[in-house]
Structure formats: structure tokens, C-alpha cells
Structure 1
């Protein structure tokens, strides 16, 4: 079933690319990488690298004027500050949070220190955010999903107010202090992971100062994209634009390399396994932040009746 869903999803993606960009772009972005990987390279190497490169090149050409504009700007090295807000979003509101999300939110507030936590919902987001009418319209009719809207929102918020965007499913394991840094993200350090960041950053945990070059560029790039197009070319669009910034602006590359918090187990924690005190203690000591997911079926007890890591997490 999962394989069938993936095939249908990929086919739907190809149809979207063709309808918005035409056959020539469809060939460059999807069909040519497949041809090179399977026919020319005999299935050897990383097919994703070919797709990443093709789409990155397309987006560079599509945004060359914007890239040239930001090459003339400098990054803001002002510290984030002790009272910069932490932005978190749960569209339906706190009362509608699943159990795991509620616990993550509770721990975030517990360890946020002097940073005020701002919960964004469908009822209050417009108090902080003024998005272009086209973006709002696309969201209302379903062209832009809530995931894509939140990408735009985080870049608007940080470029406008400063602060840190933390996804609603992050387990904050202990107090943290990032007030003296001009930029923050988290990374697994795994350069072999099958995603654009290759373990160098996480777009769902990212922060900086008001007016910072990276966040201003990202917001403009995302808005420009939707001004030109009516279909999402890739779910991880935010990572493609971050990669472009990383490769084109040495000051942004330096920010990401220097001020990204290393969490080796960032996305690999298994919640349904039996709770082992020493094992989990070691993971928590190595990781100030752990990315969880509420979409999996989670259990308080393992198959043998032992309390699980998830059960421990809920007890905190």
C-alpha cells in the first residue's frame, strides 16, 4: 500500500510540474535525473543527488535577480537576545493538540527561560503576520497547504520581529541559552541522510534577529515563488532555498555552520521501545532537542508490557 501511495504521489507531482512548467521543465527536473541514474549510471550512485541538483539549478535561474540583490547585503550579527519570542504553531489551537504535541508544548514553556512563547493558531496568526493577498487566497483554496503556509509564516515572523521558530513536535530535554547567538538551528550531522540539508540544518527549528539577511531572503524567495507559480514543485521548497542561500552567500553559510546546535539523535528516537534509564539518559545528555512525530501510533506499553519511552516522555 505504501509503495502504491508513493507511485500515485509521484505521478501527481509529475502532472503538476507539467501543467505549471511544461514538458521541457518536467524532463529537466524529474525525467532526466531518472534517465541518467538508471540508464547511463546503471542504477549506481544517488538518484536524489541528481534530482536535488536539477531542481536547485532551476530555482537559481528562476530567482537570479533576487540572488544578485542579496549578494549586496550583509548578515545581521546582532545577538538574538534574552527576550526574543519563541514562535510555535498549532493551527487548531492548544485545546485540540494531540497528547504528544501537548507534552512538547508543556516542556517548551518549561524550558523557554526569558523567551516568551507565542502560540500561533488559525484564530490569531493575522495579529502578527501580514501576508500578500495571493498567498492567503492560495491557502484558502488549497493550493498552498498549512505546511507550506507555516514555512512562509516563520520567515515572515523572524525577518519582522526576530525570534526562534520551533516546530510543535520538538522535545526540549533541558534548559537552553541561545540569546548570545545571531542565528540558531539544529542539525543531526548525518551527511548521508536522504534530504537536502544533509544533516546541516533543520528548517523546522530556526531562529535569528529582526531584518537578518537569511530570513529576509527566504521570505522574499517563497513569496516570489508563489507569485510566479500555482503548484508546489517540491514539499521541501524551504530547504532548496536554504541550500541556495548556503551556496551563494558566504556569510549565511558561516552562520549555519557556526551556530547550529548538534543533536546526533535529532530524528532517530524510537518512542515505542521499552524505556531503558541508562540508554535514554545518554541520548538526552547528547541532545538538547529531539524531533518527534505525532502521526505514528504511540503506545505507553511495549509488546512485553514494559513501559515505553513514550510513557516516560508523558510523565515529565
Structure 2
């Protein structure tokens, strides 16, 4: 009987977000006639796509034991750069944000891995820096760059295939690739190893610094790509977007089963976490009488609940084995 209980408890911890998502969808479908309509579900899917791409990069960072607070500002900067570059063609609209945002991720990674500065401080500075660059480009937000609605770049954000928008298909493809990269490649195993124990990973021959730099570059690239796709969808580079997105991405990743301490996590859980947050927001909008601030309250409550449910078993397991892992100190 104890074995069954342990198996059920393990399944609930690993797939709790998926169970919560399924339950929420069923209740919402029965409670609101407009929830399960094709238009509403498509809206949820498209609005989830941009956050999901950012959360995918955040998953790699958190599994490696880091954190990236710059993704919201990088997302907004990527959208502005894409909208500005769209006047020169779709290739420039995509390449420009990827190059700039990838460089921001590279700087973050080098400062964290080589200079051994704290990820919180480095990415907080990058968050402020990216937002400052964006405001400088747009004259403190006074200029809004538009994307021609009949352009190929706009089609990338607004086009559909089999009833779903291109951003949704791109997101699904990225998550498949991300899952393979994290679970089936040497790089992914290095990410787990670094997040689990840096000293042990180094003794096994893993290049800790290179792995850390790579995950932050990946996070910057994906945040920039998400911003570019969002600009194509909105046909403009909106400067006020991305505020608080880093917290949403972190929440989705943690709700999906990735531990903030690193070493454990999977990309499919992050996708489920994003969908759960977006479905909850949509349900609150369906109610109509609740203020949008309740979205943050409910999201925060889910985050606390998930962390409590996951931390307690981990602590019991460590207590049973008589200890925990040690991480190498990081100055700063």
C-alpha cells in the first residue's frame, strides 16, 4: 500500500500542473459557454505562445541553477527592433532582434560564468539596460514602429495553418527541439549536471562556464524571438510590453515542475505551466466582475502551493539520506 501511495504521490508531484490544467479547463468549459469556443481557445493558444517561448529559455537557465530577470525587457526590445527592421524586409526583422538579444544573453553569461557574479545582480542590470536601450530607440516611448500588415513578416505573426496561428506552431516546434536538447543530448546532460552540483560536474569534465554561457545566450535568443513574433502579431513594436514577464516565466517554469535550486526540470512542464496561467487569466476575464489584479493573486497562490508541495518531499528525502548537495560558493 505504501508503494502505491508513493507512486501516486510522485505522479502528482511530477504532473500536478497538468492535472490542475485539465481540471480548470473542464470546470471552465462547464461554467462558461464562451470558454470552449474555437475563437477563445485560439486566443488562449496564441497569447500563451510568446510567454511559452520565453519560459523555454528560462527552463534551461533555472535547470542550470541560474535565474534570468532580463527576459521581459529583452522581449520588449526584441519587438521594437523587429518592428523597426521590418521596413528592410523579414530577414532583417528576425535577424536584428536575435543578434542584439543574443548578445545581451552572451554578456549575461560571461559575467556570471567567467567573472563569477551573482545571476540575480547581472540579469537585473541587464533588465534595466535592455529597457533603457529600447526607450532610447523609441525616444522614451514616443515613437512606435509599425509593421506593414501586407508584409511577409506580418504574415509570420498573423498567418494560420490548420486553424492555428503560426506563432503556436513555432512554439510547439521549439518545445520539441528544446525537449530533445535538454533530455537527449550531451549539452542537456551538462545543464542538469551543472545545476545539480557544479563541483561534481567539473570533476566529470563538464565545462561549467561554457554551459552557463550557453543557457543565457539561449534565453536571450528565445526572448528576442518571442518579442519579434509578438511584434509581427500586433504589427507594431509596443514599448510597454514585457513588464513583469520575467516573473510570469519563472512562475510557469516552477509550476511546471522545475526546481529553483537547479538540477531538476523538463520543458513540457513549463509549457503546461504557461497554459495553466493563461487559462486562469482567461477564466478571470470570463467572469468579468473580477479585477485583472486577481490574475496576479491567483498566479501567486498557485506558485506558493506548487513550491510547498515540491519542497516538502525533497526535504524529507534529504533528511532520510542524512544530507544534501553542496554548491561551490559564488562571490558577489
TM-score (norm 1): 0.27
* Larger relative contact order, structure 1 or 2 (CA cutoff 8 Å, min sep 6): 2
Higher helix share: 2
Larger % of strand: which?
1
